[in-house]
Structure 1
Amino acid sequence: MQHTVSLKTLIIASVSSTVVAAIALVTLILPAEYNIDPTGIGHKLGLTSIAIAAETDAQPSQSPTGNKGTDEFQIIEVIVPAGRGVEYKFAMPQHAKMTYEWLTEGESLYFDLHGEPEGDTTGYFESYTIATSNEMKGSFTAPFAGSHGWYWKNKTDNPIALQLLVKGEYEVIGLKK
């Protein structure tokens, strides 16, 4: 007995397998391999941490205080206490560039990415981004020499850990007291 497959069945099977492959690519492979997560599902499943861990394993670890930036990502852990805010800063010369990404395990933080000019005693600062989110990635060029970084505020009753990945032209100042 010979079975024949109709053209319609072949087309349906081909289209179905292409759709399944595309879904797997976007939701599983890109987040796990490349830390690209357009749907957010990879982060919820913990797959983006696989890509970050792979990057970490491939790079030498660096101490978060006093190191100059490099072409490799430096990974910094920051704890934002319950109901409080912290500031983490980098010294950067004018026109220096920094690429960054920070993320929590899902909890959102109010944040202000800003800079303060070197030597200024007036309390002036310039905000670049103010929002509430559980992650952010991007890059910026320092418009002036000084300290640049984030203020994060935790409005919950529990401490929130965040992972900050940075690379570029900077020197770590660290947590601002």
Structure 2
Amino acid sequence: MYNSDTPVRAELPSSRQLVRSTILAAVSAAVLLVAVVLPAEYGIDPTGIGRVLRMTEMGDIKQQLAAEAAADAAAAATAAPAPASASASAKAAGPTLGMASANASQPTASAASKVQWRDETPFTLTPGEGIEIKLKMAAGGKVPYSWAVEGGSVNFDTHGDAPGKSVSYEKGRGVSSDEGVLTAEFTGNHGWFWRNRGQADVKVILRTRGDYTDITKVK
């Protein structure tokens, strides 16, 4: 009376086939999680595929943005008016501290200008913009560096990465300059990420020399 086709029992998948399909689906999902989702969302790349496909950089930037947003929220939540006495003390100490800071930074700038640098990399960051500069270094390599901001300050993260490896050397917020020696913990890319959280454009000049074979700018 009805023309609908009813599958016979032999055409239905067996329990073994269903189990096998489920296992294959679970394995495929796990592969996608490890090879795509972790690098692209969290900067975690245990297989190295994310680095090859340039997805790990996107994950690193997402994590940096999330960390900055959390730190901004925490700072705003904990900020409170200072007591009158503390405020008066701060005002009284302010000129002295400012003069000490200016005097301390002057020799640094002068010394940096006299060093024979291998590369000088200037760039401009608009409000909210970030940039990353990477150096290819071998394990144990040392790179003396100096960078300074004109027109404001930046947030920064000094870090390194390689297939299956990552390290954060130093982080800072609202910093106008930094200098030192970057020592590679492993063979790979090592360098800096800067972001301008101010309301105006800033210019950053990075100067480097030492044990590296290549320098790359990533936006």
Q: TM-score range by the shorter chain?
A: 0.5 to 0.7
SS of 1:125's equivalent?
Answer: strand
- How far 1:160 sits from its partner (Å)? 1.1
Which of 154, 169, 172 is matched with 1:131 structurally?
172
| Structure 1 counterpart of 2:31 | none
Q: TM-score, normalised by structure 1?
A: 0.58
In structure 2, list runs of 5 or more residues that go unmatched.
1-99
| Structure 1 counterpart of 2:209 | 167
Map 1:97-176 to 2 at 5 A: 97-105=142-150, 107-117=152-162, 120=163, 124-132=165-173, 133-176=175-218
Whichever residue aligns with residue 140 of structure 1, its letter is: L
Q: Distance in 2 between matches of 1:48 and 1:140?
A: 17
- How far 1:138 sits from its partner (Å)? 0.7
Change (3 A) 1:76 1:126: same
- How far 1:158 sits from its partner (Å)? 2.0
The alignment yields a C-alpha RMSD, in angstroms, of 2.7
Percent of residue pairs identical: 29
- How far 1:40 sits from its partner (Å)? 1.9
Q: Distance in 2 between matches of 1:82 and 1:106?
A: 12
Q: Does 1:74 align with 2:119?
A: yes
In structure 1, list runs of 5 or more residues that go unmatched.
1-37, 60-71
- How far 1:173 sits from its partner (Å)? 2.9
SS of 1:168's equivalent?
Answer: coil
| Structure with greater helix share of residues | 2
